[in-house]
Amino acid sequence: MSTSTLSRPRASTPAGPPKRRRAARNGGFASSFTVNALLILGCAYMVLPVVWLFFASTKNTADLYGTAAYAFGEPAFFDNIAAVLNQDGGVFLRWMANSMFYAAFGAVFGGLISVMAGYAFDKFQFRGKDSFFGIVLVGVLIPNTATVLPMYLLASVFGITNTIWAILIPVLCNPFGVYLARVYSAAYVPAETLEAARVDGAGPIRSFFSLGLPMMMPGYITIALFQFVGVWNNFMLPLVMLQDQQLLPVSVGISIWQGYSIPQPEFTPMVITGSLLSIVPLLVAFIMLQRFWKSGLTAGSVK
């Protein structure tokens, strides 16, 4: 099964940079076979669970327990999708839209806030810079989940639990983004360019928006992409903050359905199909934006 899913697209991709392939002549067939076989094995481990999810989503409850895992049963894929979309008056689409909104808000505005701060840490001289950057690093090191309950406790004082603000404010805070932005600013924005702009009479704000930000755009997109994924994947924050079904992101919504499916097995195909539908947007985003997350990681690790 794994080979048929893997080998088809393999033929269409170029096999590594040619310079390195020429160096392979002393490797021999055996080691070349071993290396690539191990790589395929590793990828099978990564891919097969998602492939299983796809097969499982085509089955009704009886076939799910009755047929082979990687085989089709009675075609129920579209019935399952219809069931997911119609449950509780279409609440699933509402959850997807919520996830999209929270994640996009965090990506665009949280990303911009991080980029501005990272740029300032790289390009401006001011007193206490090291201490302020130290605070950012402490923020990087504190695990997210350790601050979720404290945030809930504080939010309930202000009465903003169970509102969108309980999600939208925390998703703007991305200390690791600031750290990355500082690296990107140093790599992409030459000080001479800014100096030239200053000589030409551009203020620091003007030169950030017309020079710095466009030059850092790949970094901004990378930071935004990672923030998008982080918010989309976040489970504990919305679980703690939100009770209203209409405000939930898809991660928490599906976990509620999973709770229903324990006493009522007929919910199981909906949990599985809903899971599949919920990962499609991220998969598409990742494949389309490959260039950015890869170039971003490269810039980060070379520094």
Partner 1 sequence: MATQIPTTTGAASTRKQRAMSGTGGRTAALFLTPFFAVFALAMVAPVIYSIVLSFFAQQKSGLGFGEAKTSFVGLENYFQVLQSESFVGGIGRLAMYCALYIPCMVGGALAFALLLDAAVARARKLFQLLVFLPHAVPGVIAALIWAYLYTPGVSPIVSVLESGGIELNFLDNQMILPSIVNIAVWEWTGYNVIVLFTALQAVPREILEAARVDGAGEIRAALSIKLPLILPALSVIMLFTVIGTLQLFTEPSIISKATASVTSTWVPNMWAYDAAFNRHNLNQAAAASIIIALMAAVLSWAVTRFSSRMNKA
Q: What six digits make up the tokens of 217? A: 């755009």
Closer Cβ to partner 1, 79 or 261, answer by number: 261
How many other CB atoms sit within 10 Å of the CB of residue 173?
A: 17
Q: Is there binding between residue 288 and partner 1 (CB under 8 A)?
A: no
- State the number of binding residues for partner 1 (CB under 8 A): 112
Closer Cβ to partner 1, 53 or 85, answer by number: 53
CB of 132 to partner 1, least distance (A): 7
Binding span for partner 1 by CB under 8 A among 16-24, 76-84, 87-95, 214-222:
16-24
How many other CB atoms sit within 10 Å of the CB of residue 102?
A: 23
- Of positions 114, 161, 222, 227, contacts partner 1 by CB under 8 A: 114
State the Cα–Cα distance between residues 235 and 240, nearest whole angstrom. Answer: 9
CB of 108 to partner 1, least distance (A): 13
State the Cα–Cα distance between residues 48 and 144, nearest whole angstrom. Answer: 30
Q: Is there binding between residue 199 and partner 1 (CB under 8 A)?
A: no
Contact positions with partner 1 (CB under 8 A) in 38-67: 38-39, 42-43, 45-47, 49-50, 52-53, 56, 64-65
CB of 169 to partner 1, least distance (A): 6
Q: In terms of DSSP H, where are the helices of the chain?
A: 2-10, 18-22, 28-56, 61-66, 77-86, 91-105, 111-123, 129-141, 144-158, 165-168, 175-188, 191-199, 204-207, 213-215, 217-233, 236-241, 250-261, 268-288, 290-302
Binding span for partner 1 by CB under 8 A among 74-82, 85-93, 197-205, 215-223:
197-205
- Of positions 86, 144, 193, 210, contacts partner 1 by CB under 8 A: 144
- Of positions 141, 159, 200, 288, contacts partner 1 by CB under 8 A: 141
Contact positions with partner 1 (CB under 8 A) in 238-257: 240, 251-252, 254-255
Closest listed residue to residue 59, CA positions, set 300, 254, 268: 268
Contact positions with partner 1 (CB under 8 A) in 151-190: 151-154, 157, 169-170, 172-173, 175, 178
- Of positions 3, 35, 90, 190, contacts partner 1 by CB under 8 A: 35
One-letter amino acid at 197 equals: A
Q: How far is CA 241 from CA 8, 91, 140, 196, 255, in A?
A: 45, 19, 22, 49, 15
